[in-house]
Structure 1
């Protein structure tokens, strides 16, 4: 594969009489250093994974317990790299896959015959290739990658994998179609991506129909412009997005099992529910601060007020004016009001770097209830299933800590310290992974209009 240095600029190479020779030489040196570091990082990540598996085998554990050791190691390494433990564990898994399952591809990368991007694409495509033909796929894939840049080899590699796969494409499609799903990925500025994994013919047909409907809207608006109605200035992308939202939120499915001979189907009457947390200041129009939808995404103030006007009732979260904490309960399960306040306080899993929404997490007693821990706001915190399991089955320790505020000492609810099992804990100067959550005392003391409100 040629490089810019091979092709040169203006007919000249990257060396010789080129005025850019020194700059190209510096860039080439940087590429070499980056390559060496990237290879070393992958080897180190793979060794972290092997070390975790060796430790698990030494203790005679398998299955879930073995995975817990890998999670624990990934959490420590994530703290070193300032990454989330999920991402770090994913990098460990990827490194072990590359080095152990695709040694020829890894060696070709080490020798600079292919680039790191090629390696990632080969592994991604190779995930669907059976082990018995993986070696043949890898050797052929190297040849494909040597001829083009990483961004242009995916199609050729897909065709190669399909040709080498012993199972017919039709059968594999049936299996893949069983994994169809819809997911939401939150973005910035109050926007999110709705991603649907669908059979190709369905996805293509949906896009075509949305395009036709969008064009019909533009034509209709254009025909009515002479009657005082302005042209529709939305782009086709905007029209497709708006129509998709209208169809999903207001339409009814073609196949409705609740449809009866004497009544319309019930699925068409179902309406979406969105939970939003907004301060009374914003709700009353005194500021334009964004509100927050359950799940961690921000929405604009106008939308939040519009949602508030569409509901007949909403819950208001109160805080005790003296202690500024919710009431403790002696039973194992917290009250409904405590759960609401904890969800509003935590917002997401309390493990460092984890952004799993609180609504998808489990309420955990920091000090186990069975060991005398109270069901109190200062002993409860949201942990996702992954990190809840780590707390239970590995040596990671969690404790809630207190801090002083300007208006008096208050325990900092939800502010937790996680102690790694790989660092000594005897010394008070031992660094800890700490996650600070704003305490209710940080908010203004007035109950009105600054208290947070949760809309159903």
Structure 2
């Protein structure tokens, strides 16, 4: 599939050709503008990265200083673009890789021989290609991309990279296995994708075991149904066999996909891993005792069942009201915070470290990192003195705020400045003088659930035992 950049349709088409000629002409102009804009954006992003590196190295300083300068520049640019600084820094890194490492690919894109999607795939696949064969890979990759659309070139590029790589597949696998990881990508309707980058044989084995377990559940379901039919034949009420005595549980009609997902959740949240260093003693092991923690923010009205608005798994995404109430019902201890709704009367101590009550108050107030746009949950953040304690800053509710490690370090080591203007509101000033106001999140009830039992759709789900705690 080739493109030479000539999108003109000519006067002949406009006068007696396609009735859509004018519309296609407008679309072609839009494609030209989008292409020019994309190229200009990549160049500008790369220039931001180069500028940050030049500034960091001006006095011969490298390492952490370079990273902090790049973080600072990314945060400034993110404010301009209304994106998160993490995403913007990723775009800067990608733009520098395209122009610095793949100049031939970049030129082919500028000339409209390939599309932006091709460039992204080439850079992604080429990340594992050694420097000494990168130019050869790039030239061959361009030829592959010119023949097909971006969504269909990945396999061919993978094969090309494998052919050119001087290392054996076994050697590369060892390197790749060292980068194994687990990530979460949040979706809509209270759902997320949990993605594990692990060796293929482990992934295949996990899927097989989950399938076997799911099949066992299905077999038990069939056996239960057969037992109910047999019981009916001898005059025993079928419900007494299909369900345990004294229960009214609904029949299990989950599909295999649903069973695999539920079993995976049970194993991760409630199982003791084989890698537990204390496994094999006379107890379950230290890792088996660890329970998942999820910070949930929910309004009092939703918690009490007065509405069904979604709650928020802080730092993640929205969850449905029934799940939030079900999780709330599993919390054994609640701390009520009495705060003046108008003045939010401050609490202050003379020591450096805030008290447990102050930490809970701050967690309920902040919910997440207080740098503009950052959604890292408060339970994964550090409590920072806005005015440093060593410089006379008090351990006071309105001189404390949650910052994630990234933005805590950026506050310390770059020219970004922050001050609290009252009511827990933070005002950040960038190195260029731009001001970003970080308001206090919407007031809500906040709790952290330690759970080994993932919520499922069951009869009566959403009705926590005993109901929500009294307020």
TM range (shorter): 0.7 to 0.9
* CA shift for structure 1 position 107: 0.6
Structure 1 Cα separation of the partners of residues 29 and 283 of structure 2? 74
Aligned residue among 431, 434, 444 for 1:421:
431
Pairs aligned (count): 423
Distance 1:66 1:207, change over 3 A: same
Structure 1 Cα separation of the partners of residues 120 and 316 of structure 2? 30
Residue in structure 2 matched with residue 434 of structure 1 by the alignment: 437
Q: Per-residue CA shift, 1:230-264, capped at 9, x if unaligned?
A: 87543332222122223333444456654447666
* CA shift for structure 1 position 270: 5.4
Residue in structure 1 matched with residue 137 of structure 2 by the alignment: 137
- Conservation of the 8 A alpha-carbon contact between 1:331 and 1:375: yes
Aligned residue among 356, 360, 364 for 1:336:
356
Residue in structure 2 matched with residue 405 of structure 1 by the alignment: none
* CA shift for structure 1 position 284: 4.0
Residue in structure 1 matched with residue 457 of structure 2 by the alignment: none
Structure 1 Cα separation of the partners of residues 348 and 430 of structure 2? 30
Structure 2 Cα separation of the partners of residues 278 and 309 of structure 1? 13
- Conservation of the 8 A alpha-carbon contact between 1:320 and 1:326: no
Residue in structure 1 matched with residue 262 of structure 2 by the alignment: 242
Instruction: Give the alignment's Cα RMSD to 1 decimal.
Output: 2.9
Specify which structure has the bigger relative contact order, considering alpha-carbon pairs within 8 angstroms and separated by 6 or more residues. 2
- Conservation of the 8 A alpha-carbon contact between 1:113 and 1:146: yes
Structure 2 Cα separation of the partners of residues 79 and 308 of structure 1? 36
The within-5 A match list for 1:164-183 is 164-183=164-183
Q: Could you say what secondary structure the match of 1:315 adopts?
A: coil
Structure 1 Cα separation of the partners of residues 110 and 341 of structure 2? 64
Structure 1 Cα separation of the partners of residues 397 and 316 of structure 2? 21
1:314 aligns with 2:325: no
- Conservation of the 8 A alpha-carbon contact between 1:315 and 1:453: no
Structure 2 Cα separation of the partners of residues 83 and 264 of structure 1? 45
Structure 2 residues without counterparts, runs of 5 or longer: 7-12, 229-237, 243-249, 451-471
- Conservation of the 8 A alpha-carbon contact between 1:317 and 1:452: no
Structure 2 Cα separation of the partners of residues 451 and 389 of structure 1? 29
- Conservation of the 8 A alpha-carbon contact between 1:356 and 1:384: yes
* CA shift for structure 1 position 122: 0.5
Residue in structure 1 matched with residue 120 of structure 2 by the alignment: 120
Q: Per-residue CA shift, 1:353-377, capped at 9, x if unaligned?
A: 1112222222111111111111111
Structure 1 residues without counterparts, runs of 5 or longer: 7-12, 402-410, 424-430, 444-449
Q: Could you say what secondary structure the match of 2:348 adopts?
A: coil
Residue in structure 1 matched with residue 347 of structure 2 by the alignment: 327
Q: Per-residue CA shift, 1:248-288, capped at 9, x if unaligned?
A: 33444456654447666676565544444445544443443
TM-score norm. by structure 2 comes to: 0.81
Structure 2 Cα separation of the partners of residues 16 and 204 of structure 1? 59
Residue in structure 1 matched with residue 46 of structure 2 by the alignment: 46
Q: Per-residue CA shift, 1:398-448, capped at 9, x if unaligned?
A: 1111xxxxxxxxx321x111112213xxxxxxx521111148xxx6xxxxx
- Conservation of the 8 A alpha-carbon contact between 2:293 and 2:448: no
Structure 2 Cα separation of the partners of residues 128 and 14 of structure 1? 49
